Amino acid sequence: MLAERVKGLKYLIYQMDVEPANPEKNRQKVKDWIEKQVPLHQPDTIILPEMWNTGYALDQLDDGADDDGKETLELLQPLAKKHGVHIIGGSVANRRNDGIYNSSMIIRNDGELIHEYDKVHLVPMLDEHKFLQGGQAGGAIFELDGIKMGLVICYDLRFPELMRSIALQGAEVIHVVAQWPESRRTHWRYLQHARAIENECYVISANSAGICNDTQFAGESLVIEPNGDLVVEGSPKKEETIQFTIDLDKVKDMRERIPVFSDRVPNLYKMDQ
């Protein structure tokens, strides 16, 4: 049975200071945050950042990665069901038979896992390809409360084709989970505004705060409306909880006023294969 579509969704973002190479501590932090903040704010949906189980201690992933998502699902599924909250599960280092992936898991408010995604684009500047396997399936959507949604992970944000493919499937909200560095803060902000404007959808991001291996993360988790306006933003460096509500009528209104999807002429776009 399809969920009845709602007009708006109330969100919480956990702009988390992830402890590098300490999955037990990070899982406890996430559990404590959910147990405290969800009853206090009563959101429909919560979002975690990228690689929140291990952080970017890439050379220590063998010791800290999930075993095919087992540890993350054992933590998040009961919490989703207990609190009746959808969980956009950020992403975690996740070991499978052929290697370690940067994997996201979406858990519905009844505790069911409804969507998984492995980060497609690995960051060459961090030598991610030496430690991680790239995902082979991008651009799928999922639904929460009757709303079509998508998710990308950090470096994926730089590839407009991926987010456009999600929007073309009807997504009205695209989530970006990240550990984006302060050194490229302006890229972080401008790219999200651009993706929201060009796809006429909400772009909602959860970034990390804190430091890993001398890299300061940018914080500034953002919520961008379909017209490109900033709704709310996190602080630059501090771990915090960010709350907001989105209005899905703004997506419908924007797509009716400026019909970019029906005006596309893809047969004239020369795209490399």
Catalytic residue of the set 29, 71, 116, 119 = 119
Token output for 92:
């975690």
Helices (H), 133-229: 160-168, 185-199
What are residue 203's DSSP bridge partners? Answer: 174, 224
Catalytic residue of the set 19, 154, 201, 212 = 154
Rg (CA), the chain: 18
Active site residue 143: no
Contact (CB, 8 A) for 8 and 50: no
Active site residue 238: no
Active site residue 50: yes
How many residues can be counted in the chain?
Answer: 273
Distance between CA atoms of residues 71 and 48, nearest Å: 15
Pairing of strands 66-67, 92-96: parallel
Catalytic residue of the set 19, 50, 128, 220 = 50
Distance between CA atoms of residues 134 and 180, nearest Å: 18
Contact (CB, 8 A) for 170 and 205: no
Distance between CA atoms of residues 162 and 30, nearest Å: 29
| 153-185 burial: b if 16+ Cβ within 10 Å, else e | bbbbbeeeebbbbbbeeebbbbbbbbbbbeeeb
Greatest CA separation found in the chain? Answer: 52
Distance between CA atoms of residues 36 and 220, nearest Å: 22
Contact (CB, 8 A) for 5 and 147: yes
Name the residues annotated as catalytic: 50, 119, 154
